[in-house]
Structure 1
C-alpha cells in the first residue's frame, strides 16, 4: 500500500487507497480470480487484523487506486490509521 486517505466529499464514509506498483499487481490478480470464480465468491477485506468487508467483485480492478466504503457505524479515519499501521 502506498497511501490511504479519507475520501473527499460531503457525507461520504469511504477511504481512498493507493497501492504501490507491486500491490496493484497483486490486487488485480485477486480481483481477476474472484471474477472468474463467480458471484458466489467474496473478496475479504481485512485491515488491522479485522475483517472490514466481504465484497462481490463484478469486474477485475485495474490501476493502483480503489475506494473502500466504510459502514456508517465505523470511523473512516480509524480505518485510515489502521491501514497506515500495516
Structure 2
C-alpha cells in the first residue's frame, strides 16, 4: 500500500525561533491572517498579501524598528534575528 505524503518545505531555522515567530505573528497579524506553517524560505511577501504599510507601522510600534523594504524579501527567520538583535522595545 502506498502512502501519499505532501512536503511543505524545511522549517529547521523557523523551529529554532518558534517563540520569536509566535511573538512576531501575534504582534503584527490578526488571528485570521496568521500562517499555519512557515518554511525556512518563506518571506513576509509569501505570507501576507495585504497592505505592507500596516506591517511597517505595527513593527515600528511593537519592536521600535522600521523595517526597510528589502527585509520583506528576506526569509522570515532572518527578519526575526534582525528584530531580536535591534529591537528598542522589549
Coarse TM-score class (shorter-chain normalised)? under 0.3
Q: Higher helix proportion, which one?
A: 2
Provide TM-score, normalisation by structure 2. 0.27
Higher strand share: 1
Larger RCO, structure (CA 8 Å, separation 6 or more): 1
Tell me the TM-score normalized by structure 1: 0.28
